[in-house]
Structure 1
Amino acid sequence: MSAARATELRATELRADCTVDAHGRITFGLRLDSAIHPQLLLRLRPKKGQPEQVVHLVDLEPAEDGRRRAVLDSEPALAEGRWDTYLLRERGEERLRLRPGLRDQRTLVDGHTRDRSSPVAVRIPYATKDGYLAVRAWLRTAHSEAGAIDVTDRSMTVAARLHGASLGEGAAVLLRRRGEAGVVQTLEPRAGGDGRDFSFTVDHQELAAAGGTGSGSGIWDVFLQPAEGAPRVRVGRLLDDLADRKEIFVYPAATVGGVTLRPYYTVDNDLSVAVTRTPS
């Protein structure tokens, strides 16, 4: 492909619309001129310094409105991570990055109201910071979906629902201090009637006094252990239309004895609590 042709495509044709249905199926649509075998290419973004390893190809088929359409079925599930989208006009040609067009994600808004079986697979199309179209995917054996978070001067209460598993005997909420193995605060969840809804309360003073070898500042990651001996399940918020909520869902901080505590969502939309000790 000539440089002029590539530039023309980038300016006019490389904008894809997408629609998500309630089952996680994503339909992409874009306008193309003549192409023998165009494909949508999704690339799992590698970690910094690592080579690209995983790509997924979907044929772009002619649609009734004159566009090309690619359907990314809900199965097989995408590996967890961020998937960048590209147009591959012909096999062997240069792949061209796609920009977002219209994104219809209305079915995702109330996704937290639908129970999910194991494994819990989530996909959310979004625009990257530099203006390209990508898909954020999560794939977990089970998931604890955080709901309302009530922060007061003395405590933080979190409502949540378990997907892909049920609460059993010995269930516990675990706050694990990041980077310090074995430093864990254990809380007893208050279970709802169906074995999936639960809530828990974090006492600010107790967490502020909790240990570790550091200065008292640190991050506590929140997990649910659904039953005694069961694998831990991260508590987070994945089941709606927001791919990145860290800068959108901002909660108030509380200060206890010179220590400030604030719940927040990580870059992976998992729930954590930041504890910061004010220098004396």
Structure 2
Amino acid sequence: MSATQNLAGALAARHQVEIVALRKVRDESYFPLDPRVSVRVLTDLRPHSPVSDLDNPLIEVFPKIYPVDPAEKKPVVSRLAELRLLEFLDTTDADVVVSSSPRNTIMLSYAKGDYLRVTQEHSMPSIYAKYYQGRLFEAYHSLDALTALTPEEVESIGKQVPGVRNRLAVMPNCVPAAPVQSKSTNKVIIAAGLLKENKNFAAVVDAFATIVRKRPDWRLRIYGGGTEKANLRRQIETLGLHNTVTLMGPAAPVSPEFSKGSIFVLPSKREAFGNVIVEAMAAGLPVVSFDAHHGPRNIITNGEDGIVVPRGDTDAMAEAILELVEDDERRKRMGEAAVRGAVRFHEPASCERFEAILHEAFARRALPTQATARVDAEGSVHIEVGALPEGVHQADVVCSRVGKLDQEECFALTSEGAAVIPWRGGLPAGTWELSIRTAAGHEVPLRVDGYGVDARDLLNVPLPRENGAPAMELLLPYQGEKDRLRMRSVVRDSHVEVDTLMISTESAEIEAGYWGGELGRGAALEAVHRKDKNRVLTFPVSAVEGRRITARVDCALLADEHEGPEQIWDVWLRPAEGAARVQLGKLATDVLEPIGVFTFPRPQVRVLPDPKRTLPAKVGSRVNRALNGGKPVPRPVTKVEIRPYYTALSQLAFKTVDVAP
């Protein structure tokens, strides 16, 4: 909350800023607030307030949209607060609305207002509670900009929610300058924060035990309150440090206390940023910190204004603190460097950084995002986005490989907002998501509606390809998740395109086009067991006119090889003995997912018992064995259903399934 109020005060120097509070429970803010910042309270929960909402029945009702902790017995944020927040978000005339709470970000995604939507993540979304984490990641897609505290966290969010990676920016917390600075002469080491397990103050007590044995004239002060206070007190007494280690309790503000020390220590196991690091540096203290994820390393310049030691290494922490304790000149020099280093997190720098993020967001918002995609008779894809905004003279359609975001291909947009992705050599095989990127680096995803993809001519694209091109090279644009424009690219030097599949209880007769090769000696169709690649069934294959082949899959053989409730056989062509397999599939089509579109009869094949094949011991009970003269029980007569289908990768496969008698 302090970082939000600090940034609000910094922005108030040049903008009209208002803080919207869901609940008011105290008369004064815990942290000081710039008088130029106005405050709007949505629910007043003070009993003595003349405008108290405690008598409103909705104050006891759980919200419907705002995420609620399943353990809550009574609503912390009520239905009343939720309704008032939605009303504010729908009617405000603000140019920018910023959420600094993940659950408020979810609320922001439901709002109807026409303003820039920004969220600030002050922690690590990867560790958020599961009851709202998924909804939060979904809400990210409705935002214009997202900020995180460190480059590592920006990268982490981009991996968790790839669709918003182009809207992410680093925004460290805003921390004001210190009113009083240390003289680096007091023999006092400072640590501060909530006394909870993650903050790991036990480690700094252990480290200080080493230091005080060598320098008994130094003292350790720990500021803060919390659940670990009693444990720390016991540790201090057990180590005999009660005369040199003091639990100071909470201090608000704590910055003036820092000036009384000469070294600051941060022992956290995890620290998204670490406001106290900047506060201590601003007060002229060099900082010794564990390399906690990921804040300290992004604040401290190791060896100049502080020392970063391996996380959890208490001996290394003690050694680093002792170096500063015993070297007065170095300690003073690093303290002066700390003051200079903290400036980049003060109000002026934070204001400029945040304004730049908003400027980038407004520039992205001006870019066209609605596109059309048309496949021409040769298979090239024509993208149109309309006129670019004034001042944007150069932009590309960027195709980013889904699952491999560092792989991308760019195609120049004309001044009219058109680009062509050529069928030949345009995109390597894979699935691609399309966006616009300007020369200035502003990037937005492209979307299409139900009429935005014209694939009529794709059905007439000449295949196989000739003149040295891969036999199969085809682009299929489509409307993906969140209406994003996506492109599937298939590139294969050789390919077997299934045309017809005639199914009976005896066989599956396959007719297909074999592109990019010819059958040779030992050619065969092979069905490979999905889990046991060493299990291969072989079927005859014949070449007919042109590039066509035929093959016959024996259903009885598939049924006879069946084991367990179900198993899957993927189908390949072995064009010649020793040659590499070629996949059979359905790719020369505008159907993106043939698995649920192209369906076939499912014959049931009767399998007679085989004395050599017996039931597993767990299935053949002792009673049945007794009735069978103590011998293993043969498998009974069964029926196996043969299910031909195309997989998610469009490959022909056969699934065999037990049929209940």
TM range (shorter): 0.7 to 0.9
Q: Deviations over 1:69-115 (max 9, x none)?
A: 1111233242222101112244322333433553222222134x633
The residue that corresponds to 1:45 in the other structure is: 402
Equivalent in 517, 520, 539 of residue 187 of structure 1? 539
Q: Are 1:153 and 2:497 matched, yes or no? A: no
3-state DSSP class of the match of 2:645?
strand
Amino acid aligned to 1:54 = Q
Partner of 2:454: 104
Residue 598 of structure 2, aligned match among 243, 246, 249: 249
- Select which of 179, 183, 199 maps to 2:550: 199
Q: Which runs of 5+ in 2 are unaligned?
A: 1-358, 607-638
- Higher normalized strand content (fraction of residues): 1
**CA RMSD, 1 decimal:** 2.2
> Equivalent residue for 1:78?
427
- Structure 2-normalised TM-score? 0.38
Describe the shift of the 1:78–1:131 C-alpha distance in structure 2 as closer, same or farther (beyond 3 A).
Answer: same
Larger relative contact order (CA 8 Å, sep ≥ 6):
1
Does the alignment pair 1:219 with 2:576? Answer: no
Matched letter for residue 431 of structure 2: R
Q: Which structure has the larger Rg? A: 2
SS at match of 2:558: helix
**Alignment partner of 2:405: what SS?**
coil
> Offset of 1:36 from its aligned partner?
1.9
In structure 1, the gaps of 5 or more residues are none
- Identity score, percent: 26
For residues 202-229 of structure 1, what are the alpha-carbon distances to aligned partners after superposition, in whole Å with 9 as ceiling and x for unaligned?
1211111126xx5262111111111222
1:118-129 paired onto structure 2 within 5 Å: 119=470, 120-129=472-481
* One-letter identity of the residue aligned with 1:61: T
Aligned residue for 1:88, secondary structure, equals strand
Measure the CA separation in 1 of the matches of 2:482 and 2:504.
37
Residues 156-180 of structure 1 deviation map (CA, whole Å, 9 limit, x = unaligned): 1111011111222221111111120
Aligned residue identity for 2:560: A
Q: CA deviation at 1:45?
A: 0.3
**Relative to 1, partners in 2 of residues 1:240 and 1:219: Cα closer, same or farther, differing over 3 Å?**
same
The C-alpha deviation readout for 1:226-265, integer Å capped at 9, x for no partner, is 1222111000011122222111112221111321111111
Decide whether the 8 Å contact of 1:41 with 1:55 is kept in 2. Answer: yes
Look up the SS of the partner of 2:590 in the other structure.
coil
Q: CA deviation at 1:130?
A: 3.4
CA separation in 2, counterparts of 1:84 and 1:260? Answer: 39
Partner of 2:482: 130
Q: Name the residue aligned to 2:642.
A: 261
Structure 1 residues 229 and 216: CA distance shift in structure 2, 3 A: farther
Give the Cα–Cα distance (whole angstroms) in 2 for the partners of residues 234 and 201 of structure 1.
16
Partner of 1:177: 529
Paired AA for residue 24 in structure 1: G
1:121 to 1:114, Cα distance in 2 relative to 1, 3 A: closer
CA distance in 2, matches of 1:215, 1:132: 41
1:272 alignment partner AA = A
Corresponding residue SS for 2:399: strand
Q: Helix, strand or coil for the counterpart of 1:207?
A: helix
Q: Output the amino acid matched with 2:453.
A: R
- Taking the aligned partners of 1:136 and 1:54, their CA distance within structure 2 comes to 15
Is contact 1:125-1:243 (8 Å) kept? Answer: no
**Alignment pair present for 1:140 and 2:492:** yes
How many residues end up aligned between the 2 structures?
Answer: 265
Shift of 1:60: 0.7
Q: Which residue of 2 aligns with 1:22?
A: 377
- Contact 2:453/2:479 (8 A) holds in 1: no
Aligned counterpart, 1:236? 585
Which of 197, 209, 222 lines up with 2:560 in the alignment?
209
Partners of 1:108 and 1:131 lie apart in 2 by: 21
Which is helix-richer, 1 or 2? 2
CA distance in 2, matches of 1:77, 1:144: 22
1:274 correspondence with 2:655: yes
Normalised TM-score (structure 1)? 0.86
Taking a change above 3 Å as real, the CA distance of residues 77 and 90 of structure 1, as seen in their structure-2 partners, is closer
Contact conserved, 2:374 with 2:381, CA < 8 A, in 1?
Answer: yes
Distance 2:525 2:440 in 1: 50
Asked whether the equivalents of residues 110 and 240 of structure 1 are also in contact (C-alpha less than 8 Å), the reply is no
